[in-house]
Amino acid sequence: MIKKTTLILSVLMALLSMQAKATDIYTYLAPSYDLVQQFQGAQKITFDATGMNVTTADGQTTALAFDKFNYFSFTEKIPVGIKGVNGKDAGVALNGNTLSVNGASAVTIYTAAGVQVARAEVSADGVATYNMASLPAGIYIVKAVVNGKATSVKVIRK
């Protein structure tokens, strides 16, 4: 039984050792599930025979022995590839149901799930417009080439 438990623990340690970006980790001690320690901005989590090792963004590694906790959870912040571009700076505006993009050479509209739903027509003067009235309320990603630069802007249609 001890060999089987050791094997299972070894497999779990290998599976749970991970590289992550900007992950918050919380460790607890049952049965009360009191918070033992919290790590913010963890970049790497590894397990060995004695416990969990957490490396943060500043390169500092903290070891936490298994006898100090018996439950952990983490929240991972996943980048979605959309830069924090202000829509006005990118020439993108939604007025009522009309989406307009100034200085555009190409404009494509996607759902938050990444499904393409429309392409906006670009006029000779570089202004793209699209009437979003036919689209349901929700979050959309407008990908455009504006003044020669590719940009993505989140648009919320209420």
pLDDT digits (tens, 9 = 90+) for 75-109: 765 554 444 444 555 678 888 888 888 888 889 99
Global confidence as pTM: 0.46
The pLDDT assigned to 157 comes to: 84
Q: What is the predicted pLDDT for the residue at 58?
A: 83
CATH architecture of 2-76: Roll (2.30)
Question: Cβ(23)–Cβ(15) under 8 Å?
Answer: no
How much is the pLDDT for 88?
Answer: 53
C-alpha distances (whole Å) from 106 to each of 49, 64, 74, 154 are 55, 52, 40, 16
Average pLDDT, the chain: 76
Token match 């924090």: residue? 84
Determine the pLDDT at residue 4: 45
pLDDT > 90: percent of the chain? 9
Within 30-147, strands assigned E span 34-47, 51-56, 61-65, 71-76, 92-95, 98-102, 104-111, 116-119, 121-122, 127-131, 138-146
Query: What does the pLDDT read at residue 108?
Result: 92
Q: 3-state class of 19 per DSSP?
A: strand
- Domain locations along the chain: 2-76, 92-157
- The pLDDT tens digits of the residues spanning 36-79 come to 888 887 888 888 888 888 888 788 899 988 888 777 777 765 55
Tell me the CATH architecture of domain 92-157: Sandwich (2.60)
Tell me if 44 sits within 8 A of 54, measured CB to CB: yes
The Cα–Cα gap between 3 and 49 comes to 14
Above 90 in pLDDT, residue 145? no
